[in-house]
A and B are shown apart, each in its own frame.
Chain A
């Protein structure tokens, strides 16, 4: 019996006040849990000493100065593409295996300022390029649901380590990143809540970039309320990230809302080829539940969604080609053993440092960016990106539009590892990211909520999307759905 999966931030704080638990004892339990669940390979590194130091600080604030902060004694984990000073940050790549940042990502420094205790850095697909957490130099992360040493399911990705750390009870919340669904996809497959905030609401400073125009830090927790608590701590303008939204952030509040005033759209294009019958069924089930709560449901259309995955794939590869040019072996990271010429050093370093997926995206990106292809592919996809965003603008328009959209998150429950790796990375992502990447294309917020278990006893989840900065309404409706479906806790 794993009691840790039953805790919420509120319960832990209550227990600290009543001294049923103390920050040091609870962090110790969390660290033990990381050891018991080592087989799942959620962590790239467990920061045991750091966690203990942090928990002692929290304990002092709880019992000596009696001024605890919102996240004091709350165990958190960071995806290993967020910089943490003096703690290695690897991106699960040979290229950054020995990289130790000298500064903290804003998301991490804000969590620390609120008292959170770091228990470890989480596994991911190399440089967050994937949807399975299978392409990491530290090996794949395993889904805790129906886990069997010989026959296990993928965690989803690329923030698979963060999702598994939360699902298996090693921490109360974790930070992932979301470029095309990398937070929502593993959240969906591991049965936890995963939030992709509005682009620019949460600072990217210190998040090692994949696709600058789409990357956002994501939040994973076992319930909507904990996600909201973390969001309130990390969101808001940051002088170190010029792409954060300047408007001051108003902390969101959760309340029991009246759904009769909420209009929810069902975009018909989200029923795509290859979607499993079970996913369609739970989509209908939750639509029924919402209608019973008097929400106004209507069918809407986002015609360019079906082209979005191909557009996303081109833009992703173009930005990757440009972003990855910083890795040359001179200033940081891996340096190959060549001294004959600079270019030769660059080439061999990059050959040794990047896996096949990263290399092929760089090559494809540079192909689309060749002078002769620039307009044909790159500019074309930027135009299509506008059409995809305009679809959302229309559907959310204040006059006659809907407030939120309800769609599946993934096309099926978690695939078996050996079935998943039989496909190429591009096919894996094209299949897995279908429902999630349009939100990144448009920069809008989206949340994945676990709904029920499939016939394989694996989590099935749905997604809500809303217009920019609609996190408050979105999380309130998500909380309502959560209370109606009563998704089981992983024992």
Chain B
């Protein structure tokens, strides 16, 4: 039984290659080329502290476990290339690294657009953008969301 299956599989793949060779231009690779990426997928777990730090830096919250899973999955995907040797390779910041940037003359070419710029702001006062009080760091996001809800309810 097992032998049968093995036989059948090997015959199928052979047939496949034969068919492929017969029909395909010889320059086209018949089978997928193995990837340089690591086939092994690591399991990533993010600590609570890191979650809070990322939320504070990003000013967006994970809101659900799904959000956290997506992050852990992204990291596991990234981990697949860490083993590739990059010793003595310089980082590439821009594909235009061998060119000089255009510098324009230090002259005013635009202006008188204060009204147009300000009209896209939801809240303005005279010629100013308006922000609430600063210097209050964002606390733990759970606490934050709760307090926000409370305030909205009070309103």
Contacts and interface: CB of A to CB of B under 8 A. Distances in A.
Interface of A: 98-100, 102, 199-200, 213, 237, 239, 242-246, 266, 268-275, 280-281, 283-285, 287-288, 291, 297-299, 303-304, 306-307, 310-311, 313-314, 317, 321, 328-335, 337-348, 350-351, 354, 356, 359-360, 362-364, 366-368, 370, 376-377, 379-387, 389, 424, 426, 430, 442-443, 468
Given A243-B101, A246-B102, A363-B67, A266 B32 contact: no
A389 B136 contact: no
B148 interface: yes
A69 B114 CA distance: 34
B73 A343 contact: no
Interface string B5-40: 000000000000000100111011111111111000
B132 A340 contact: yes
Nearest to B129: A330
A368 to B, nearest CB: 7
B1 interface: no
B58 interface: yes
Given A271-B32, A376-B82, A280 B71 contact: no
B97 to A, nearest CB: 9
B99 A245 contact: yes
Contacts of B148: 338, 344, 348
Contacts of B101: 242-243
A377 B86 CA distance: 12
Contacts, number: 242
Interface of B: 20, 23-25, 27-37, 46, 50, 53-55, 57-63, 67, 70-71, 73-75, 77-78, 80-82, 84, 86, 89-96, 99-104, 113, 116-117, 119-123, 129-134, 136-138, 141, 144, 148, 151-152
Contacts of B84: 304, 307, 384, 387
A331 B130 CA distance: 9
A351 B54 CA distance: 14
A307 B101 CA distance: 30
8 contacts: A237-B102, A280-B20, A284-B24, A297-B25, A303-B36, A307-B81, A354-B60, A367-B75
Which residue among A270, A284, A377, A385 has the maximum number of chain B CB atoms within 10 Å of its CB? A284
Contacts of A269: 33
Nearest to B70: A360
A319 to B, nearest CB: 11
Contacts of B119: 100
A335 B123 contact: yes
Nearest to A280: B28
B28 A383 contact: no
A275 B30 CA distance: 11
Contact of B121 (A281, A331, A354): A331
B129 A377 contact: no
A389 B117 contact: no
Nearest 8 pairs between A and B by C-beta? A443-B95, A382-B91, A102-B116, A332-B120, A335-B122, A341-B136, A306-B35, A386-B92
B27 A347 contact: no
A345 B59 CA distance: 10
A182 B130 CA distance: 37
A367 B27 contact: no
Contacts of B95: 199-200, 213, 389, 442-443, 468
A360 B67 contact: yes
A184 to B, nearest CB: 18
B135 to A, nearest CB: 8
Nearest to A340: B132
A244 B91 CA distance: 21
A240 B58 CA distance: 29
B86 A342 contact: no
Given A341-B134, A344-B132, A442-B95, 8 more contacts: A329-B122, A342-B136, A344-B136, A360-B67, A370-B53, A384-B81, A389-B95, A424-B70
A317 B73 CA distance: 13
Contacts of B61: 347, 351, 359
Contacts of A299: 27, 29
B67 A359 contact: yes
A313 B75 CA distance: 10
A321 B91 CA distance: 20
Given A272-B32, A350-B60, A330 B131 contact: yes
A102 B117 CA distance: 7
A112 to B, nearest CB: 18
A313 B78 CA distance: 8
Given A99-B120, A242-B101, A366-B54, A380 B92 contact: no
A338 B116 CA distance: 25
Nearest to A381: B81
